[in-house]
Structure 1
Amino acid sequence: MRNLLLPLLVFLSFTAIGQTPADWWYFGQSAGIHFETGGPVSDPNGALLTYEGCASISNSNGDLLFYTDGLKVFDASHTLMANGSGLLGDPSSTQSAIVVPKPQSSNFYYIFTVDDGAQVNGTHYTLVDMSLNGGLGDVVTTEKNIPLVTPTAEKIASVQKPNGYWVVTLKISGDTCYAYEVTAAGVNLTPVLSNTGVSLTASNFWGYLKPSIQGDKLAFISQGINEAYVFDFDNSTGMVTGSTAITQSIGASSGYGVEFSPDGNLLYTMSYSTNDVKHYDLTLASAAAISASEVILGSSAGGGGGGALQLGPDGKLYVCRSGKNFLSVINDPNTYGTGAGYQDTAVMLNAGATNSLGLPTFIQSFFNVDFSYSQVCFGDTTCFISDTVGVDETRWYFGDPISGALDSNYAFNPKHYYADTGLYTVMLVAFSDTLVDTSYQTFRILPRQTVSLGSDTTVCTGTQFLYDVSQLYSSYMWQDSSTLDTFLTNQDTLISVTVFGACDTVMDQIRITYDDTIAFDLGPDTTFCGGVDYFIDANINVTADLLWSTGDTLDTLTITENGSYFLHADNTCGLVMDTVLVEFIPIPEVSLLDPDTINCFDNEIVLTHPNEEGTTYIWSDSSSKKTYRVDTTETVWLAAFNECGSTIDTMNLYFNKEIISELGVDTTICDLDTISLNAYSLGATYLWSTGDTTDSILTGRVSQLYVVTITEGLCQTIESKRVDLSNVFCPGIDCDLIVANVITPNGDGVNDIWRVTSDCDIVKFGLNIYNRWGQLVHSSDNAKFGWDGTVSGVPATEGVYFYELFFKDTVVVDIDSEDFRGSITLLR
């Protein structure tokens, strides 16, 4: 089994659905929706009948406060707010109004209004006090319809800044951007002016102006202008700098709706006349590249026009379809291409309600209170990341009560460790000045993927194995490319599986081997006459563990002894055993007794018959005893018989008296002396190694071994004794150097080797032999080695050779060494 684990980074991002100031929308002809946890649902209570612009606001609990079409203000009870009529916006203005909370106040809200058609009313603001009228609010008459700039295009946006907001509009005619600062002190009537580089006139003033959620860009689109424009915006100064013109392939002169994706990387546009919603990749390096990245998502199928685009508090982008009783939606507006998930009929409106062109205009940072999370695999620490643009403080509640005090955290991007898998609901409460927004997400801590097929295994033929690696949030790939969570096998195979999971990719493999059923027969019990071995072949051709009673482990066995033999064969199909009895009965041997013999000693001879099992033996005295004793000359026979046959053998035994003779131990005598060797035995004859045939001889003048063969009747014995000659026993006599003058290396054993000998111990020796031309043919420093008549292994030619001899021995008394020269004759 082999396991391999490949960890995967799991990063999941979901849009928060919670309580935001933008939870209630009222627009079009009596249309309204409310964003709930499960998504937007229609609300039939709205009082607006507006052709284009509108705005609404909710409190930090997501409760409706009021809404407006730029002319009238309706409270949460959908009745006209006190002093709520006569504002200077217009329902036919693209963005007739926007509501901006007064910083550091929970009761005051500014309604900024924009007149229709670049009329003289231009842009004004009005203050609403929500502490009045029992919490339903009232327009503050002393701060109503305060003029800012006139005339202006039908465009207005608000961008959150440190300690407040910018309210931005565009002056007509020209390219001047007016940015008004809203702080706790109120509305600064002195605007920050900057130039967009795009000139607006009384003929191209309508269409939306939108900031990115991040507050670093502005985008606008206008009828009569073919391009959509994106400006860089500095929310610390209120200045517009730089612009990117994006060429649209369709609806260019009827541009109306525009919106950024939540991450600010994509720009969406739409015309007022048809459903041609499309987006562009703003991360590309040039305007040309951005324009070329256009992807059309909407469809004109089914009729109906276009209109406004507006992000929702759920992170989706909602599409107004003028004349229709539903909203379309982009489900994943951060995704480039068709993967953004355009859905045509997404939110059905209440009965009788229809869209016009507009959707409510909000401060885009209202949609910034969402968060993502990563590392949701069991054992990981989950990381949470919130979008902190415009957020002063965050409070997190991780939905994990068993973690105790760690279940909450006030960091912007906290981490939390979940000790178990399962569903958890996380709540994020975000504070921005006096606004409070709450977001919820439910997610799952996922189990890790594991797989273990077990160890390699062998089973009996016919066995089926079903491997089940099923687990949540996983897909599978087996070695045969099948993708089920189970695999069935009934044959030899290498099974491998890869489990692809949300957390890990793990692999394992196992080899399945099938055994066949064992069958064998050792044969019948067997008896052999005269056999010496019996070969058994069990002929087992399947895989099995084999064990004979002898300890052998092959399926063959050679038997040489009588006995009962069994073989065990074992595999996963079971144990099979068979036994066979083998008996060897030898045919009685022809030679039962030793050859005829002579006894030259006085001891008796004891004969023993063989001991073959199952054989009966009878001696010549008719006995069947084990031994037969003989102490005189006799002819003895022994018969043997068993069920395999019979035989008889005869032996003649001759008794002769013992020869008694003794020469004594080896000895050394003076080389001038001799001794007598006596081998006498009564009635015997003699043959000495010297050739003598007498019973005694005298030793010669050379050291030698004397051997005598003594024969008496049929008996014979050999005696020997070595006699060495030495002058040690003869004081005053030097030892002699014996040097032959002839060598006959012809292989007859006589004079084949020429060597120098001495009757003394030689302690130092040197010999060189030369031919007649003075060439060295032999050299030695060992007196025991002689010359065999060859030169370098080749027989030397006949003739005279010269030697030079140096030796030193222990006998020389007058000098320490002697040096001799002489000649030898080589004959063959």
Structure 2
Amino acid sequence: MKKLRHRHLLLLLVCCLLLGGSVGAQPGFMNTQKFLKANSMWALGDKTGLNFNVSPPATFTSALTPATGGMNIPGLLYVLGNDPLYGTSSVADRQGQMLFYTDGVSVYNANNLVMPNGAGLKGGNPGELSVLIGNSTLQSTCVVPFPKDTNRYYVFVLNAKEDELNIMPDPLTYSIVDMRLDNNKGNIVTGSKNLVLDTNALSGAMIAVQGSNCDVWLLVHEYGNPVFKAYHITEDGLDPNPVLSTTGNQLQGPAVCNIACSLLGTPLGPTFSTLDNMAAYGTRTTMSVAPNGRLLSVANFVPFCLTGITYGVSGVLLCKFDPATGVVSDGIVVDENLQTASVAFSPDNSKLYMVHNSVYDSLGNGTAVGFPIIQDMDSVTISPYAYYQLLQYDVSSYNATTITGTKTIIDDNVKTSEFSTLRLYNDKIYVNNDPGAFTRGGDPTGSSVWLGVIDKPDAPGLGCAYNPKVIPLPDKLFYTFPNQVVFAPDPDTTGNNYKDTLVCSAHLNGAFPEGVVLTAASGFDSCLWDDGSRNPVRSITGPGKYWVINFDRCHSRTDTFIVRHIDISFDLKDVVSCYDDSVKIDVNIPDPGSYGYQWSTGATEGSTYVKGSDPVWVKLTKESCEASDTAKVHVYNFKQDLGENKVFCMNDEISFILNANIPQGAPGVAVRWSTGDTDPSIRVTDTGTYTVVVRSEFCSGAGSMNVSRELCECYAVVPNAFTPNSDGLNDVFQPVVQGGCLLAGGSLRIFNRYGQLIYNGDDILKGWDGMHNGKTADVGTYFYELSFEAGTHHKKHYYKGSLSLVK
């Protein structure tokens, strides 16, 4: 008998639990001791520095001096004169001892001396009014240690194009410092100085961002185009071909700077009258990275404008960064009305802080008062202080409108300069709170330079605990903090990742299925299995413990697979309904209580009842494994009904056919009659009981019929005398009825010669015993009436006559 059954083999590899921990896992790179120590010595401008190896940070003396040129108005402002020093970088060793620092022009060793080959770097913006103002690129330098090398460092120097008057040669160059040179005080390697990396116009933003594979990305931004350039630094060297990413609104360039005039005119004179038409000079741009290395921000500031020229407001650009590929994407603008030169992320990556030129908001037309307002160079009007707002934004939504709506003013009266920067270090954000950048000595509270601190930058709103005056600094001229030093991640090993791997199969009777494979983790260069094989895909033949080590040049990871096997094997057999009624179907499987059941009938137990010929299926589940099977219900009617028993009259002929019921389509049917016949039909010619049994492999049915004879009609003889003398002979008057005759409805009445009824009975076979009124009746003649039905045909008989009672 053909069965309709659905089976399937399910190979399910479920890695459902990581039980292990990490060995040497990297925290957020800004919180590693390696990063904190390397960035613990901040070389600032005007021979000033900060040592963060002690608490509170202490000042130290550096060799850095402000840029020179132009004219200095003592006691009031540094303008066209000793310009603050921007864009420094400094790096310390793993104990926090200074190694070297740079201003983009020279590289100084820990003894504050220019390295023997350390002078003559291409910093200082020589094309941008250098006769008047010195280096003004806020992130003009960046130091990146060689990956997997504790002695060598890249020193990148950026000369930004910050206005239309600026024509920059070799915008991006680099040199290589080897700390083993000059008796371990360090020097620039001969032949590795001022190497040109990019000749295209760039903005003033340059930072290093940690990659995800023991590498570092150096990020810069084109001037005039919304294009990021990511230079890849690996242990194999510096790739001169950057990854290009176009995203976000352009935040610097001619669209913002809007140069409207030139410096044509007579040479500078005492009245400065020829500068009446001078427009804004140079935008200031910086870039920041979140501690997770996956968010970037670009800030832009147009520093000042002269008569009739207003600020260019451009907001802050927020982008996503992929440390694996160097791609910058999904740029959005945070609050288009922002004027800020620097931003900083909170340690948890959710907040963005900045110092905003609030004067733009208050005047509405963007007129700058933070810098001198020069209406007439013969009569200089100078704002005594620069007032700004310290703002906080929640960027966790990464939606421009939502972010703008989270704006919180932390401090509405920050006294600082337009170009002062913020920097995250050791879970705090430091603010250069310098109101005297243009009005030295004008702060009545004492020192004009303070280090402000946001103590809890992860907290929303005023809970961030900003204190504008935490550390007093010498009354020195500087605007920006040094660029941060970013290391490539150290090689790390993640071990003991136990993966509970469940292999499911169905209907294999416990055998482990073929074709089961384990796969090493993706994203690695190679792997090694416990059996010595190196193919990423490994076939296995049974349950057990298997491990693989995954490698690349930066990471290794051990995965241990605990392989278990569950085979759900059962045979849902076809069922037969022998009498076209409900039939029970069972799942025969060991330990049936450990499975879940779902039948097509809706039942959820190990068995169900079905009726009809529709196929029935069941699905069994155990943990994450499942198996199903389908059975057909064969419906046959094996009922044998030979009919009612037959009765023939005594003299009638017996002859008829009995037929067995043979179910249509039933296989292997056998018939056997009680007569010994095996044909489906027999002829009956005699009395008796006839039985038939019809059998098959699955069903049987039986039936029977009784054939008999009977007296259909019969007769009665009535005597004409009797002798009720108790001699046992003819003592009762009764009719003599044919033996075996069926009697019904009888009546016997006796009358005397006077017509009186002396006996009335309904049992004619009992008869009259001659008694009347308790004694034997007199001898004489009597009369009787006898009626009854006789035979199976119930023929009515009626007799009357006389009888004699004789003694």
Same fold (TM over 0.5): no
User: RCO higher in 1 or 2 (8 Å CA, sep ≥ 6)?
Assistant: 2
Q: TM-score, normalised by structure 2?
A: 0.42
Rg comparison, structure with higher value? 1
Q: TM-score, normalised by structure 1?
A: 0.41
